[in-house]
Structure 1
């Protein structure tokens, strides 16, 4: 765990094959989003390939800091990774169950769970993790060397 906090680029580079694999598995799936009167239909494999490119850019960003020997702020790196994983788990869950029906019922919960609400929560966690990444990068970049 300490290696991942000191070298977060390893974690993000390891997510690239995961997103590519999910994109290859779920080629035919579609995410349908309706915002006000606008309807968006995005194929899951495009979303996964975009995610693979995005995490590779985050990994390159962290690797660039590692390469110039500027250590990241460890607590921000830890929270970035925690929020990224917290956003990733419901996102992958929704990708595999989104095509069945938009509502997933469970015996443990009396009400049904809307997968689009889970995607919204996942996206919100992702935005928080992205802001933590930007904050970590800026603070690390402008911090004076010890």
Structure 2
């Protein structure tokens, strides 16, 4: 755990091949996203590749801090990693429960009416983790090193 805190770019670079592999396994699985009265039909692999690119950018941010000998704040880094893990768990659970037609399987957890609320909370945790990462990145970049 101490290595992840001191070198968080390794954690985020490690997530890239995981999401690429998930995208390859779920290549032709559609994902229906409806926002109000607009329906989007996307494939799961698209979201997995976008997620891998996102984690690549986060990893590059942390690596750039490491290259200029400015290290992120431990508390903010721990908070960022925990929030990322918490927002990824429902996302990954939903992906693994999809069948070939893009429908969630009949699971007691996914049939729960609160599952969409759980995904909404995960989305807000994702937004908060982005803000925490930006605060961590810019405070580490602006502060002087000893």
Normalised by the length of structure 1, the TM-score is 0.89
Contiguous gaps of at least 5 residues in structure 1? none
Using a 3 Å threshold, how does the CA distance of structure 1 residues 122 and 103 change in structure 2: closer, same or farther?
farther
Distance 2:68 2:120 in 1: 36
Is the contact between residue 102 and residue 115 of structure 1 (CA under 8 Å) also seen in structure 2? no
Distance 1:114 1:98 in 2: 18
Q: Which residue of 1 aligns with 2:122?
A: 122
TM-aligned CA deviation for residue 115 of structure 1? 4.6
Distance 2:131 2:71 in 1: 18
Is the contact between residue 104 and residue 114 of structure 1 (CA under 8 Å) also seen in structure 2? no
Distance 2:29 2:122 in 1: 18
Distance 2:48 2:117 in 1: 19
Q: Which residue of 2 aligns with 1:31?
A: 31
Distance 1:52 1:143 in 2: 30
Q: Which residue of 2 aligns with 1:67?
A: 67
Q: Which residue of 2 aligns with 1:44?
A: 44
Cα RMSD after superposing both structures: 1.9
Is the contact between residue 31 and residue 43 of structure 1 (CA under 8 Å) also seen in structure 2? yes
Q: Which residue of 2 aligns with 1:145?
A: 145
Distance 1:39 1:54 in 2: 24
Is the contact between residue 94 and residue 104 of structure 2 (CA under 8 Å) also seen in structure 1? no
Decide which moves more: 8-17 or 34-43. 34-43
Q: Which residue of 2 aligns with 1:135?
A: 135
Contiguous gaps of at least 5 residues in structure 2? none
**Secondary structure of 1:33 counterpart:** strand
Deviation string 1:91-144 (CA, Å, 9 cap, x unpaired) is 1101111346447542xx7x7246543332222211111111001001111112
Q: Which residue of 1 aligns with 2:12?
A: 12
Distance 1:31 1:121 in 2: 19
**4+ residue runs over 4 A deviation:** none
